A and B are shown apart, each in its own frame.
Chain A
Amino acid sequence: MSGLVILALLIGLMMTGLPIAFVLGGLGLGMLVVGGFSPLIVPQGLYSVIDNFILLAVPLFLLMSNVMLKGGVGRDLFAAVQSWVGHWPGGLAVATIVSCAIFAAISGSSVATAATIGTVAIPEMIERGYQRRFVLGLLAAGGTLGILIPPSIPLIVYGVVTEESIVSLFLAGIGPGLLLAGLFIVFSIGYAHFTKAFTPVPPAGWAERRRLTLRTLPTLVIAGVIVVGLYSGAFTPTEASGVGFALAILLTAGILRTLTWQGFKAAVIDAMRTTVTIFLIVAGAKVFAKAITLYRIPQDVSSLMATAIGEPGTFILVICLVLLLMGFVLEALSMLLIMMPVLLPTVLALGIDPIWFGILFVIMIECALITPPVGLNLFVIQAVGKAPMGEVAAGVWPFILLMLLTVVLIYVFPGLALYIPFQL
């Protein structure tokens, strides 16, 4: 009963336009007071949740990808990939997805990925006769690779909330990320082949390819250092983010000489804004999570689920549907931070691997965010592509189907996610 009242308050307060961080924090505070618990829990929670070495990876990965962005790395990357695959049928679409996948390895956010590659790819593809709605859908979907292929900010937050290993989560994201990229590529080639709606790009010469690839090589090296460093255990995720940030400065300011002081300042301010926005939600969610735990809501949900559903498959289906609905109004991290503290006991009780569940959760969140009419990532592409919402929405649905297919594949073959962290 109290659970339903809290849910109603949660939704009601969000609809007033109150910032999510304070919906969660304030509601948590209210629950503590009503339940006769000490409000001292509020500052304690606000303090302890940010006093966390793992969370340091969030600002540092954001600094790294912002510096790369301001250094024009996206343009170089796209040009290099395009010189190799541009002349294929649907070559620019393939280049877009491959660029997104590579940029995803230095960026933890799907918005940064879509924005970086989108700014270069969208005008180029439209000029080459690709249908606008296909281009916009492709970018909205390609951006989602940003949080599936490590590093990933939602996976860091997931790991902090569930106390699971960030490294395992990162490694588990690689397989599904590559699978998804592969499906997008196959679809793009097929689409271009059947619609013929594109002008082929002449193949680039070998000299051209070598020049462009050399220019983008340092970026690949940084991505490689991070993934290999994490995989081999040489770095913790936080250390990888620090080293990545330092390398990004070295590359863009020292080697490419594309980073200006103005650009660097803008990157620093942007990273701070995004970080603090995220951390305030994390902090508010911590207060809320403490309150619902004191009310024993997660345990109640768990026993309710165990008796009402009792079977992992049905549970996962229900969660997927709930997430699709939530995606209409909420963005990724809020969904994660509201749902996971409630769901974790159920996940563990049903014997579901929490690492595997994290990957599934992130794909579902992303799916929800590009589902029309109100997926939030659609707004980003709409802004980058300067297109009406209807056009983006029309182009995105084949990609949503591919993402749902990936969810099904990961459900049927859990090894797609779990092989790299646990078997390799």
Chain B
Amino acid sequence: MTKHAEALAEFCGRLAAWTFVAIGGMVTFEVVMRYLFNAPTIWAEELSRFAQIWATYLAAAYVLRHRQLIRINMVTRQLGSKGRCRAEAFSLLWIAVFSGVAIWYGTDIALESIRVGRASSTMLAVPSWMTEFAIPVGFSLLLLQVAAELLKLKHGPPPDDGHGEPL
């Protein structure tokens, strides 16, 4: 199960990465159309924002798996293997609870949007649920990855990996 979860996280991370590249394409296309052909699009801005929401939450599980989330390891670094395992389990359970809330209420919002037929107030009038589902879907993937990480804890604490990437 761990293997499948990780393969899924990996795939979604890559998908998100190329989505950001596609966003770059859309933004540039818009600039070119506006300046060279004086014909701005009605879709580039909106679609790139929507793609950004999906890409961000789809890749949440990926960054958890690759231990990229920024954290302070000053204290946990001093702990023994057992202490590190406990701290890690606490972090994962905390993330699980937060994800649960995001999934539950996020689904609520999206279903409500379908029920009342909510759409974006632009010319494209994109149905709101299409992007609102990014939250429950992304956090479901994250929850799955949390479960995989918890299972991995049986084999000892994760390596002390620093603190993600500061800017």
Contact = CB atoms under 8 A, between A and B. Distances in A.
Interface of A: 14-22, 25-26, 29, 39-40, 42-44, 46-47, 50-53, 55-56, 59-60, 63, 108-111, 147, 153-154, 234-235, 238-239, 241-243, 245-246, 268-269, 271-281, 283, 329-334, 369, 374, 376-377, 379-380
A331 B167 contact: yes
B165 A111 contact: yes
Interface in B77-113: 87-88, 90-91, 94-95, 97-98, 101-102, 105-106, 108-109
A277 B31 contact: no
13 contacts: A17-B76, A19-B71, A25-B98, A26-B95, A50-B57, A111-B165, A277-B63, A280-B69, A281-B70, A283-B56, A329-B72, A331-B164, A331-B167
Contacts of B49: 51-53, 56
Contacts, number: 208
A280 B167 CA distance: 14
Nearest to A15: B75
Interface in B106-149: 106, 108-109, 131-132, 134-136
Interface of B, helix, strand, loop or mixed by DSSP: helix
Contact of B90 (A18, A51, A59): A18
Interface of A, helix, strand, loop or mixed by DSSP: helix
> 3 closest Cβ contacts across the A-B interface?
A242-B27, A331-B166, A272-B17
Interface residues of B, number: 64
Interface of B: 13-14, 16-18, 20-21, 23-28, 30-31, 35, 45, 48-50, 52-53, 55-57, 59-60, 62-63, 66, 68-76, 87-88, 90-91, 94-95, 97-98, 101-102, 105-106, 108-109, 131-132, 134-136, 162-167
A242 B28 contact: yes
A278 B91 contact: no
Given A16-B76, A25-B98, A242-B27, A271 B20 contact: yes
Nearest to B24: A245
